[in-house]
Amino acid sequence: MPIAVFGHQSPDTDAVSSALVCAGLLERRGQQAKPYRLGPLNPETEFVFGWAKAPVPELLTRLEPDQPAFLVDHNEAAQSLPGLATQQVVGIVDHHRIGQLSTPAPILLRTEPVGCSATLLLALQREWEVALQGQEARLMLAAILSDTLGFRSPTTTEADRRAARQLAQLGEVEDLTALEEALFAAKSDVSGIPADALLKMDFKVYRFGGRPYGLAVLETTHPASLLARKGELLEAMREEKAKSQLAGIFLGVVDILSGTNQTLVPSPEEAQLLERLFGAPVHDHLADLGDRISRKQQIVPVFERHLS
């Protein structure tokens, strides 16, 4: 049975691209592997796969009980395939914090505080001394630009910049600025998407102190057009919070170009928490989180510290 390789729920460009690339690297290393995704492509990822002329991985809804799984761009059970058993996990390549991870035996596990999983896959490709296709290099480059917001995110490292340069060469991409603009335009073109789908586009559940919290992010070059839909977004947040029995739910609207974060909160409960954790005053369901634009580096650790 081939190893199923997949990224997190509500997949983004890194999750889907890294699944495809990682499966390819494993195959070239002599293992059977097949890439998957756990949800629909978001508009940016759809653009990226069209641009790179790459085949979109199939949707995965369940695995055989003894099928091996390789996780990319995530490691927490709450963000992975529902029902996945720890003994199925044979590998993880990720750039997020480790959340309640246990494995019965040693596995191939790599995490690093870099901007993108694709940066780590490039290092793995070198170590394994296997080929990388131009199509794969283009997907990885797009994933890095997407995850680091064009190197603007505080998660960006020198390793990401160097990887992007090497991938641009391998993928024969000459105009990085044009690619970046096309990515951000696709990322921001969400006017036709209903509020509940917008909420779930980059939505992750974390367990802090044993309780589940939903942290959504929407990165855009046009925050005003998203904030104009505040009413329906808040309604979608309340519904998701009730349906998934979350202890709290937050939606950060990140302005890519100014590097700022305005976060929507549905109730006084979440408002008080943000005031306590970040000293951020909340007005009319909107908290100004300033330049905290990285969920993994600037938001999650603060929740973890205060709630665990």
- Tell me whether residue 115 or residue 248 sits nearer to a copy of itself (CB atom): 115
Count CA atoms within 13 Å of residue 247 on its CB side.
12
How many residues touch a copy of itself under the rule CB under 8 A: the total is 32
The least CB distance from residue 104 to a copy of itself, in Å, is: 4
Q: Is residue 113 at the binding interface for a copy of itself, with CB under 8 A as the rule?
A: yes
Taking a C-beta distance cutoff of 8 angstroms, is the pair 72, 91 a contact?
A: no
Q: Is residue 103 at the binding interface for a copy of itself, with CB under 8 A as the rule?
A: yes
Binding residue for a copy of itself, selected from 66, 105, 158, 210, defined by CB under 8 A? 105
- Tell me whether residue 84 or residue 109 sits nearer to a copy of itself (CB atom): 109
Site string for a copy of itself, 63-92 (x = CB under 8 A): ------------------------x-----
Q: Which of 294, 237, 221 is nearest to 229 (CA)?
A: 237
Spatial distance between the Cα atoms of 206 and 302, rounded to a whole number of angstroms: 12
Stretch that binds a copy of itself, among 136-144, 164-172, 176-184, 293-301 (CB under 8 A): 293-301
- Tell me whether residue 162 or residue 238 sits nearer to a copy of itself (CB atom): 162
CA dihedral 11, 299, 141, 117 (to 10 degrees): -70
The DSSP secondary structure of 117-136, one letter per residue, reads HHHHHHHHHHHHT----HHH
Q: Which of 9, 14, 306 is nearest to 142 (CA)?
A: 14
Sheet holding 248-255, edge to edge: 203-208, 211-220, 248-255, 260-264, 286-288, 282-283
Binding residue for a copy of itself, selected from 99, 134, 212, 290, defined by CB under 8 A? 99
The least CB distance from residue 16 to a copy of itself, in Å, is: 20
Binding residue for a copy of itself, selected from 28, 152, 230, 296, defined by CB under 8 A? 296
Q: Is residue 101 at the binding interface for a copy of itself, with CB under 8 A as the rule?
A: yes
The least CB distance from residue 243 to a copy of itself, in Å, is: 26
Please name the residue that has the structure tokens 């044993």: 210
Please name the residue that has the structure tokens 């993108």: 116
Binding residue for a copy of itself, selected from 95, 138, 187, 292, defined by CB under 8 A? 95
Binding residue for a copy of itself, selected from 62, 126, 165, 276, defined by CB under 8 A? 126
Q: Which of 79, 162, 70 is nearest to 114 (CA)?
A: 162
Which residues lie across from 250 on neighbouring strands?
215
Give contact residues for a copy of itself (rule: CB under 8 A).
87, 94-114, 123, 126-127, 296-297, 300-301, 304-305, 308
